[in-house]
Amino acid sequence: MTPRDSAGPVRSLKFVTLLVALSPDLLRWGAGLQLRDNGYEELLVALHPQVSEDPSLIPHIKEMITEASFYLFNATKRRVFFRSIKILIPATWTANNYSKVKQESYEKAQVLVTNWHAAPGDSPHTLQYRGCGKEGKYIHFTPDFLLNDALTAGYGSRGRVFVHEWAHLRWGVFDEYNREKPFYINGQNQVKVTRCSSDITGVFVCEKGPCPQENCIISKLFKEGCMFLFNSTQHATASIMFMQSLPSVVEFCNASTHNQEAPNLQNQLCSLRSAWDVIRASGDFQHSEPMKGTEFPPPPTFTLLQAGDRVVCLVLDVSSRMAEADRLLRLQQAAAFYLTHMVESHTFVGIASFNGQGEIRAQLHQINSDDDRKLLVSYLPAAVSAEAEASVCSGLKKGFEVVEKLKGKAFGSVMILAASGGDQRISDCFLAALSSGSTVHTLALGSSAVDSLEELARLTGGLKFFVPDKSDSTSMIDAFSRISSGTGDVFQQHIQLESTGETVKPHHQLTNSVTVDDGVGNDTTFLVTWQTGGPPEMVLRDPNGRKYHTDDFVTSLALQTARLWIPGTAQPGLWTYTLNNSHHSPQALKVTVTSRASLPAVPPATVEAFVERDSTRFPHPMMIYAIVRRGFYPILNATVTATVEPEAADPVTLRLLDDGAGNIQMNAPRKPVGRSEEEQKWGLSRAASGGSFSVLGVPAGPHPDMFPPCKIVDLEAVKVEEEVALSWTAPGEDFDQGQAKSYEIRISKSLQNIQDDFNSAILVNSSKLKPQQAGTKETFTFSPELFTNGPEHQADGETQRSHRIYVAIRAVDRNSLRSAVSNVAQASLSVPPNSTPVLARDDLILKGVLTAISFIGVICLTIVIIHCTLNRKKRADKRGNETKLL
């Protein structure tokens, strides 16, 4: 439960991340993108269901990736290319003898083609959320970008753009330009353009024509009308991450061409390493030698896929183990809610169960009405068997039989498998599950569930969940709520607004509020469940003060549930519910609220939670991410709580901050999504399950502190009169939690010195600086006089007079554990002569780079939350025949 702040609206989101204790590391085999013999195979491109049918999109996609394959092959020095591509056609398009989908879906695609949903611009972007050298989540293109050839004048050819984005996605490198700081002053007191490589040529232009470069900057303020025009004819071959549109650019910046002084994201996030150095360190390059000879690889092959009817089969454990901890009752409650409210209309649904043997309970039945939903609920198992044995493979076999009766194969179908554990032979049906073409989502009920159950989900591209044996846990319903159609169409899906549970004492109440914002409201449903006794007394009050009482709910005593459906569109605002335990014993009461989009063309706000990997080993942190957005735009300043439910301990709830330890400026869509008046007034609520993960090797009993503060990644330095002002986001005592004890700030006039030997740089006296709580903005000012009185001796014995200082910082906790050294910030100690101060201009840009800045909050803790980060690409415009403006 998230407390509400009476001082103002709160954006309250909650995701549940479930912990499974001790399972072995799982082998990474199964379907999906692979690199084999220098070629990428099974790259999936998916078109959103709301993209208007236009067959010309397909040849444009093929042309783009074919060009990209050869450009990538050359840029990587004959190491990698694209061999096979799958393009997923929406089911909303006319059928045209496309191949049938197996386990592919929109949500699993590496490349998405969709509209912006009323957002301006067609800029390609990549969602990067894991830092330098780490894979991103997807590349995004709009249909207009793919179809409108006029846009290529600004971005360069689509194939070049694709390679730029691929480097973001696959290898975790970042842009080498910076809209906020298009110019900087280097160590020799020269005005330079933020670029890579520095060999890219051009001229500075002021309002009245060409001007000396010194006239373009004063301190950190740009002069009115100052820009840099890149020459149309270049000889520089790098860099793809700076300006892929230049014809001469055919490679990434490497150690010899990389500009370490440029204030860009590549330097900030990759510790001044060149893009090529990061790429060469990737797993792709560790296992791929350059192809021999001089021949080019063959062009990629393309397969067009289209999903057919949506087919789902519930495969439910009914062995005697299901009698423990009310497992069967909680499964009935969740499955019934899924069938009555969550699964999309027109879906074919069947039900199978298993103990030692499998059984078909309901053949496929298409959902076209409420009566269809009620009929399916009636087929749910009502009792457990006396048999303790549970054969998952027998249950899956029956599930496959159910779905195969529709069209002869299980391709594209979904299995929702709930099992209580004890079956040691699940691996016997791995091959059958893989070859079936079905996606298997697994729910592991209780602590005895075996590891191979989760492996089954991973191999088939399914989700995996752990459901603890706790009566007030909502994890069972949360898991069913997380399982969607996979089409990516949020307008057709139910969105979970609330998920809370509590054991209420006799004659006590559970009271809370949930926000229904103006982005949702259709088909809004309140579900109340209990485990013992009769129903609680229920009162629900809408924003206008109207009250709904127990008699207004549809109650099922057999399932121990009560549902209230709000007709039409629910009133935006706070809905307050009160559940009164009128019985003489404690009751585990749970509330789930779902709704759908209220408008057909405006996407609702959503939250997606997921973990970085299936397992980790103590004391390495497990990274958990939550993307909070509307369409593709991030929603900033959300209050997000993560509830981690261990196998045999009480849940742990953490508040995660989207501006946490290390606010990183990322190139993103033009601006974060705006808030409607209703949303500003009431906020919004969302809930989502983040699946399960394992932590291996956790020692029994107390253990020493092994968690240092996390790395500061947003250090900035600005010269203010005679002092240097630093700013950064405070890390915590343990990663991003708590409060560090002290900071260690060091400075140097040599970038290389502070980068390679932080301990030998000069220590700044910061004894009076006391770290604040994690996530707080820190500031510190000091005088750099020590560095302005003469040259600094370099490590090789030479001297160099520098007009810049370089600053880095690390945090120290109470046990003297030190964080990694921060990004290196730089500040000019003087400004070029003949410069006069001017006011900064908000819209001043390095001409042609039409990018904007958004923020991603990176919290590098055992649990972290990261906002949607979208890498915007470079645009170039042409003016005349002599110059290219960028």
**Cα(first)–Cα(last) distance of the chain, in Å?**
49
Quote the Cα angle for 163-166-170, to 5°: 145
Please tell me which of 180-194, 509-523, 608-622 the model is most confident about, judged by mean pLDDT.
509-523
User: How is residue 101 written in tokens?
Assistant: 């989908």
> In the structure, what pLDDT confidence band is assigned to residue 643 with cuts at 50, 70 and 90?
confident
In sequence order, the 6+-apart residues with CB closer than 8 A to the CB of 733 are 709, 739, 740, 741, 774, 813, 814
Known active-site residue 165? yes
Q: What's the whole-number average pLDDT of the chain? A: 83
User: How is residue 841 written in tokens?
Assistant: 């201009």
Distance of CA 505 to the CA centre of its chain: 39
Length of the chain in terms of residues written: 886
Distance of CA 718 to the CA centre of its chain: 32
Q: Which of 142-146, 555-559, 785-789 has the lowest mean pLDDT?
A: 785-789
In sequence order, the 6+-apart residues with CB closer than 8 A to the CB of 806 are 747, 748, 749, 750, 751, 753, 754, 755, 824, 825, 826
Alpha-carbon distance 652 to 646, whole Å?
8
Say whether pLDDT at 772 is over 90. Answer: yes
Residue type, 41: E
Place of tokens 């253990």: 703
Contact 474, 643 (CB under 8 A): no
Say whether pLDDT at 448 is over 90. Answer: no
> In the structure, what pLDDT confidence band is assigned to residue 657 with cuts at 50, 70 and 90?
low
Alpha-carbon distance 136 to 130, whole Å?
7
Contact 514, 543 (CB under 8 A): no
Which of 23, 31, 17 is closest to 696 using CA atoms?
Answer: 23
Residue 658: CA count within 13 A, CB half-sphere: 23
Contact 211, 204 (CB under 8 A): yes
In sequence order, the 6+-apart residues with CB closer than 8 A to the CB of 379 are 351, 361, 362
User: How is residue 443 written in tokens?
Assistant: 């729910």
Burial of 455 (0-12, 13-18, 19+ CB in 10 A): buried
User: How is residue 172 written in tokens?
Assistant: 């975790």
Say whether pLDDT at 566 is over 60. Answer: yes
DSSP secondary structure string, 276-297? Answer: HHHHHTSHHHHT-PPPPSSPPP
Residue type, 278: V
Which of 542, 304, 310 is closest to 414 using CA atoms?
Answer: 310
- Rounded to 10 degrees, the C-alpha dihedral 57/61/67/71 comes to 140
Distances (CA, A) of 238 to 66, 192, 199: 22, 17, 8
Residue type, 884: K
What does the pLDDT read at residue 827? 86
Whether the upstream peptide bond of residue 239 has omega within 30° of 0, thus cis, is yes
Mapped onto helix, strand or coil, the DSSP state of residue 463 is: coil
pLDDT digits (tens, 9 = 90+) for 148-202: 998 887 789 999 999 999 999 999 999 999 988 888 878 777 788 999 999 999 8
Domains for the chain: give ranges and CATH numbers. Answer: 308-486 (3.40.50.410), 494-599 (2.60.120.380), 716-828 (2.60.40.10)
What does the pLDDT read at residue 671? 37
What does the pLDDT read at residue 215? 65
Alpha-carbon distance 115 to 130, whole Å?
25
Cα four-point dihedral sign 422, 423, 427, 431 = negative
Burial of 414 (0-12, 13-18, 19+ CB in 10 A): buried
Contact 94, 312 (CB under 8 A): no
User: How is residue 199 written in tokens?
Assistant: 């060999």
> In the structure, what pLDDT confidence band is assigned to residue 5 with cuts at 50, 70 and 90?
very low
pLDDT digits (tens, 9 = 90+) for 779-830: 999 998 765 444 444 544 434 455 788 999 999 999 999 999 999 998 877 6
Contact 505, 586 (CB under 8 A): yes
Alpha-carbon distance 764 to 768, whole Å?
11
Alpha-carbon distance 522 to 821, whole Å?
50
Alpha-carbon distance 542 to 526, whole Å?
12
Contact 387, 298 (CB under 8 A): no
User: Which of 67, 165, 498, 678 is an active site residue?
Assistant: 165
User: How is residue 518 written in tokens?
Assistant: 């103006």
Alpha-carbon distance 267 to 265, whole Å?
5
Cβ atoms within 10 Å of 480's Cβ, excluding its own: 27
Phi, psi of 647 (to 5 degrees): -65, -40
Strand order in the sheet with 81-82: 34-36, 39-41, 81-82
E strand or H helix that includes residue 68: helix 57-75
Say whether pLDDT at 397 is over 80. Answer: yes
What does the pLDDT read at residue 596? 95
User: How is residue 428 written in tokens?
Assistant: 């016997």
Contact 345, 367 (CB under 8 A): yes
Which of 687, 691, 707 is closest to 614 using CA atoms?
Answer: 691
Which of 314, 400, 317 is closest to 354 using CA atoms?
Answer: 317
